[in-house]
Amino acid sequence: MLLQAAETRVLLRFSHASALSIPDLLCTKVGRSRPFGQPRLPDGSSDVWDFSYDFTLRSVAQSLQRLQTDRLDVVHIHDPDHSIEEALRGTYRALQRLRDEGVVGAIGVGSNSEKALAELARQGEFACFLLANRYTLLEQPALPELLPLCQQRGIAVIAGGIFNSGVLATGAGASARISIGIAVFYGMIASTCLVVVFVPSFYVVMQGIQERFTRRAVRDEAAAVQNRS
């Protein structure tokens, strides 16, 4: 499963939790999976999305076993951006059953699509959304629609990736620096063309306008002199 390693680390952390005074909320995700130990490919092709009812029940049962607990505070439906109806029919219904049985405390959704979360907010009853990279220090596309909708429906929003996946904390990576360099290069070309072409043309246009106004002023003054004589 996609979160097997993370859940194992959480179990180790919980084994030392007795010394902490701050209570923990135990959360996990279902719907998106990857065979344990398989590396994550950049295009996501190594991952499998399954939002069926039965898969959800099996996934939660496996998480409970790995975490050595009988209850999860929050379970997020993981990245249902392109399978909203399937997720509502399968994963959401299964989590509702588990919530009614006391196995799950709250149902949430984790996604980096503010549009998908807005659609889910309209169709289901969710306790929280884990919103990744859509309300950050760099950009806030979730602000116009999603956040007011969540406020209206009482859905808590957990802002994930507030430093834009580390860009604002550590700087752009190699690929991002190349993209920025290309943008700067073409921006310089565009500004150079603008200066070379636009400025002389603008000067010619303004000079023509000035000459027309000058000729008109001369004609008006001559006409006024003639009228006085």
Pick the more confident residue, 225 or 66: 66
Q: Looking at the predicted structure, is the pLDDT value of residue 94 above 90?
A: yes
Question: In the prediction, which pLDDT does 213 show?
Answer: 73
The CATH number of the domain where 161 resides is what?
3.20.20.100
Model confidence at 40, in pLDDT bands (50, 70, 90)?
confident
Question: In the prediction, which pLDDT does 195 show?
Answer: 56
Q: Say yes or no: 182 and 143 in one domain.
A: no
Q: Say yes or no: 43 and 82 in one domain.
A: yes
Pick the more confident residue, 180 or 160: 160
Q: Say yes or no: 211 and 119 in one domain.
A: no
Q: Say yes or no: 115 and 15 in one domain.
A: yes
Q: Looking at the predicted structure, is the pLDDT value of residue 4 above 70?
A: no
Q: Say yes or no: 88 and 178 in one domain.
A: no
Q: Looking at the predicted structure, is the pLDDT value of residue 105 above 90?
A: yes
Model confidence at 151, in pLDDT bands (50, 70, 90)?
very high
Domain that holds residue 183: 172-229
Q: Say yes or no: 184 and 209 in one domain.
A: yes
Q: Say yes or no: 55 and 148 in one domain.
A: yes
Question: In the prediction, which pLDDT does 34 show?
Answer: 77
Q: Say yes or no: 135 and 218 in one domain.
A: no
Q: Say yes or no: 33 and 126 in one domain.
A: yes
C-alpha–C-alpha distance, residues 145 and 153, integer Å: 12
Question: In the prediction, which pLDDT does 20 show?
Answer: 45
Tokens at 141, concatenated = 């596309």
Domain boundary residue, one of 151, 171, 191 = 171
Please give the biggest Cα pair distance in the chain.
Answer: 110
Question: In the prediction, which pLDDT does 59 show?
Answer: 94
Read off the pLDDT of each residue in 57-73 and give the average, rounded to a whole number: 92
Q: Looking at the predicted structure, is the pLDDT value of residue 22 above 60?
A: no
Model confidence at 62, in pLDDT bands (50, 70, 90)?
very high
Q: Say yes or no: 130 and 191 in one domain.
A: no
Total domain count, the chain: 2
C-alpha–C-alpha distance, residues 122 and 9, integer Å: 35
**pLDDT by residue (tens digit) across 162-179?**
887 666 666 656 555 666
Which stretch of 21-30, 75-84, 146-155 has the lowest confidence by average pLDDT? 21-30
C-alpha–C-alpha distance, residues 15 and 120, integer Å: 36
